[in-house]
């Protein structure tokens, strides 16, 4: 996940040449929602509009092409714009997918675990049901979307039942 260096001069963000190379090679980049990579001032603050997000997407689309830019980000541990927040901000992303038809229909949506007990122990701000509800809404809105995720197996204290709940979530989502 990365953003455009020409929009926000962070060393983590991709240069124009790197974005062009991604497009030329048929690769893909997912926009990162961490505010320090979005804000022109580099601050780690959620107090921002979504305008910089749109500027990054537009710049990345111009250089990499519409099949090479997706929406992907880790939510936990990163400060994201207040309108997105965590996974609870998925409706904002669904609207972005509708409003930006040239964005690749890909979303990296980390769940970490399919067990509410483990999610609570990880201090995630969502439940398995909330995650699945949002995935199904997203698929209703954008049936062709590809969804990717991160899972943590063997989290301290995870039981066989917790692991099976994660596997059931994987089957339900159909990553």
pLDDT per residue over 63-95, tens digit each? 999 888 887 665 556 788 888 766 666 667 667
d(CA 88, CA 75): 10
Structure tokens at 171: 């089957």
Averaged pLDDT, 132-155: 86
Q: Is the dihedral of CA 30, 35, 38, 42 positive or negative?
A: negative
Query: Under 8 Å CB-to-CB from 1, ≥6 apart: which residues?
Result: 29, 30, 31, 32, 72, 73, 74, 108
- Cross-sheet strand order for the sheet of 69-72: 29-31, 69-72, 106-108, 146-148
Task: State the Cα–Cα distance between residues 132 and 81, nearest whole angstrom.
Answer: 22
- How far is the C-alpha of 83 from the C-alpha of 89, rounded, in Å? 7
User: What local confidence, expressed as pLDDT, does residue 5 receive?
Assistant: 96
Q: Which two tokens stand for residue 164?
A: 């099976």
Given this model, what pLDDT does residue 140 score?
A: 83
Mean pLDDT value across residues 7-22: 95
Residue 133 has pLDDT above 70, yes or no: yes
Q: Identify whether the C-beta of residue 71 lies closer than 8 Å to the C-beta of residue 108.
A: yes
Which pLDDT score is estimated for 87? 60
Q: What is the pLDDT of residue 101?
A: 62
């Amino acid at each position: 996940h990365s953003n455009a260096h020409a929009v926000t001069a962070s060393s983590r963000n991709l240069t124009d040449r790197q974005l062009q190379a991604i497009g030329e090679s048929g690769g893909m980049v997912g926009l990162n929602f961490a505010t320090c990579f979005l804000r022109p001032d580099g601050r780690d603050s959620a107090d921002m509009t979504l305008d910089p997000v749109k500027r990054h997407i537009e710049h990345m689309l111009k250089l990499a092409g519409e099949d090479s830019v997706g929406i992907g980000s880790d939510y936990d541990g990163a400060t994201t714009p207040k309108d997105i927040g965590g996974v609870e901000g998925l409706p904002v992303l669904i609207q972005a997918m509708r409003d930006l038809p040239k964005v690749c229909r890909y979303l990296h949506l980390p769940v970490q675990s399919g067990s509410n007990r483990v999610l609570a122990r990880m201090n995630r701000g969502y439940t398995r049901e909330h995650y699945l509800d949002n995935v199904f809404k997203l698929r209703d809105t954008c049936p062709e979307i590809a969804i990717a995720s991160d899972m943590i197996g063997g989290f301290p204290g995870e039981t066989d039942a917790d692991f099976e709940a994660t596997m059931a979530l994987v089957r339900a989502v159909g990553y």
